[in-house]
């Protein structure tokens, strides 16, 4: 009789034991938290991407709230879809601060050429990076993220990361980071174009004025007054150089990861 009861209990416990075993196997397959704020299982990330992630998180680490945005590249999510894998990895790494849950994970999984991407958002930032915003960011960079070119994928990851950090910076009132603020880069490119056109027009005008100086009209005091005004107002001659970019692209040696136990509730988006 006792033996039958024991067997009955074993049969009842069997599903729970199998579930527990599956959980342990899944947890064991997840990579350990990296020493930096990026993880690259397939050597995909170039130095520019690594530096972008490291530098931004270094800046965050020096703030009061210490938000954290990590980037992970894995070969496969195994039997899990990219959404579940990202949630499990987020939980294991504890991205963000425990009481604030202000972490975000960008997961890139090769998955036999599917190249799945997931933005997993912590509880505390779900109103900052909404599901809709995360979806729009991924959609706008989809062609690059799904590319078979390593360089192109890195460009897509950099844009995705920068778009997210811009939203986080705006929420906390952080000063725009020129390196990761996409809007800033667009404004700079626009300003450079306008600046070059102005320089050309100013140069042409200067040549015309000099030509008049050596003509019979050059003795006119009005021309000398105009020339003096141009040279005295430096704003009109901002220099004919400038506009160059300086991107070292070197990988930062610092920026160690120090997650504080943040958690997510499934917010975000994936492609």
CATH of 28-181+251-270, one of 3.40.50.150, 2.60.40.10, 3.30.750.24, 3.10.310.50: 3.10.310.50
pLDDT tens profile 83-94 = 999 999 999 999
Q: What secondary structure does DSSP assign to 104-121, as a single string?
A: EEEEEE-TTTT-EEEEEE
Mean pLDDT comparison of 7-21, 107-121, 243-257, highest-scoring range:
107-121
At residue 226, the pLDDT reads: 57
pLDDT tens profile 193-240 = 554 555 666 676 667 756 656 666 555 555 555 555 555 554 444 333
pLDDT tens profile 159-197 = 999 999 999 999 999 986 655 555 545 544 555 455 455
Does pTM top 0.75 for this prediction? no
Query: From CA 5, how far away is CA 174, in angstroms rounded?
Result: 64
pLDDT tens profile 44-87 = 999 999 999 999 999 999 999 999 999 999 999 999 999 999 99
Give CATH 3.10.310.50 domain extents, the chain. Answer: 28-181+251-270
The strand order across the sheet containing 264-270 reads 38-40, 68-74, 103-109, 116-122, 264-270
Scanning 141-178, the segments in alpha helix (DSSP H) are 142-145, 150-172
CB 102 within 8 Å of CB 65: yes
């Amino acid at each position: 009789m006792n033996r039958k009861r024991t067997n009955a209990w074993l049969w009842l416990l069997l599903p729970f034991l199998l579930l527990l075993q599956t959980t342990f196997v899944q947890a064991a397959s997840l990579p350990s938290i990296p020493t930096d704020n990026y993880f690259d299982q397939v050597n995909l990330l170039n130095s520019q991407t690594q530096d972008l992630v490291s530098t931004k998180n270094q800046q965050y680490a020096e703030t009061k709230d210490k938000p954290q945005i990590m980037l992970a590249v894995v070969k496969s999510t195994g039997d899990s879809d990219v959404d579940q894998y990202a949630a499990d990895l987020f939980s294991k790494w504890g991205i963000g601060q425990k009481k604030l849950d202000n972490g975000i994970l960008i997961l890139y999984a090769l998955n036999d050429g599917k190249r799945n991407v997931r933005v997993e958002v912590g509880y505390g930032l779900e109103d900052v990076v909404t599901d809709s915003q995360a979806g729009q960011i991924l959609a706008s960079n989809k062609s690059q993220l799904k590319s078979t070119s390593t360089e192109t994928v890195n460009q897509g990851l950099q844009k995705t990361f920068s778009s997210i950090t811009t939203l986080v910076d705006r929420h906390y009132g952080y000063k725009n980071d020129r390196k990761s603020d996409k809007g800033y880069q667009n404004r700079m490119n626009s300003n450079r174009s306008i600046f070059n056109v102005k320089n050309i027009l100013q140069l042409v005008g200067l040549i015309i004025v000099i030509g008049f100086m050596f003509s019979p009209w050059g003795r006119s005091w009005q021309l000398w007054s105009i020339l003096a005004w141009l040279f005295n107002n430096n704003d009109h001659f901002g220099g004919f150089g400038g506009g160059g970019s300086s991107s070292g692209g070197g990988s930062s040696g610092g920026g160690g990861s120090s997650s504080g136990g943040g958690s997510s509730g499934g917010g975000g988006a994936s492609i």
